[in-house]
């Protein structure tokens, strides 16, 4: 079995519009020697999705949470709050146990989260500006700070990602 300290839970949208960012996040995690995990990996239709997510959060030493999708749905006129909800689950796990998971929180613009999730004040979410390259560099820099080990540089990652 893989080292659980290398597992990173990904909490983000899975739609086609977000796909380039999702692929960039997965790429950055793999390129830095970690294992990405997300709810898409469990295809058991008989198991509640919420339980799958809770188990994944519990199994991962790290989590990347993107809360950039909070706009109103064109059909329902309601926002989707799955990503902030899953972030809340991870924060609850972090503050009721051993300090895991260590988190990287993304939004599309700096400080935008303060308008819809002001309780995150002081948590310093990171902006990816909807750019896959910015997301890759942010994940690499975060993992470098967390692990203090040699990781591929941003220019190297950019070259790999464009291949």
CB 93 within 8 A of CB 58: yes
DSSP 105-133: EEESSTTGGGGT-GGGTTS--EE-TT-HH
Distance CA 131, CA 160 (A): 16
Q: pLDDT over 90 for what percent of the chain? A: 48
- E-state strands within 12-101: 35-37, 62-66
Q: Tell me how far apart the alpha carbons of residues 146 and 25 are, in angstroms, rounded to a whole number.
A: 17
Q: Which CATH number fits domain 4-162: 3.40.50.300, 3.10.180.10, 1.20.1070.10, 3.40.50.360?
A: 3.40.50.360
Average pLDDT score over residue span 145-163: 69
Q: What pLDDT is recorded for position 145?
A: 83
Over residues 86-130, the pLDDT tens digits come to: 999 999 999 887 888 999 999 988 888 888 888 888 788 889 999
Q: What does residue 62 show for φ and ψ, rounded to 5 degrees?
A: -135, 160
Confidence bin at 163 (pLDDT 50/70/90): very low
Beta bridge partners of 7: 35
* C-alpha–C-alpha distance, residues 122 and 71, integer Å: 23
């Amino acid at each position: 079995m893989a080292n659980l300290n290398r597992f990173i839970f990904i909490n983000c949208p899975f739609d086609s519009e977000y796909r380039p960012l999702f692929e960039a996040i997965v790429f950055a995690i793999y390129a830095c020697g970690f294992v990405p995990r997300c709810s898409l990996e469990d295809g058991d239709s008989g198991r509640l999705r919420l339980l799958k997510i809770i188990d994944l959060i519990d199994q991962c030493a790290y989590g990347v949470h993107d809360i950039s999708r909070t706009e109103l749905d064109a059909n329902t006129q309601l926002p989707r709050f799955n990503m902030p909800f899953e972030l809340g689950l991870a924060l609850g796990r972090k503050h009721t146990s051993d300090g895991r998971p260590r988190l990287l929180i993304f939004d599309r613009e700096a400080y935008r989260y303060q308008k819809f999730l002001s309780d995150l004040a002081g948590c310093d979410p990171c902006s990816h500006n909807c750019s896959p390259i910015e997301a890759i560099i942010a994940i690499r820099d975060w993992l470098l700070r967390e692990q203090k080990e040699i990781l591929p540089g941003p220019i190297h990652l950019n070259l790999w990602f464009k291949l």
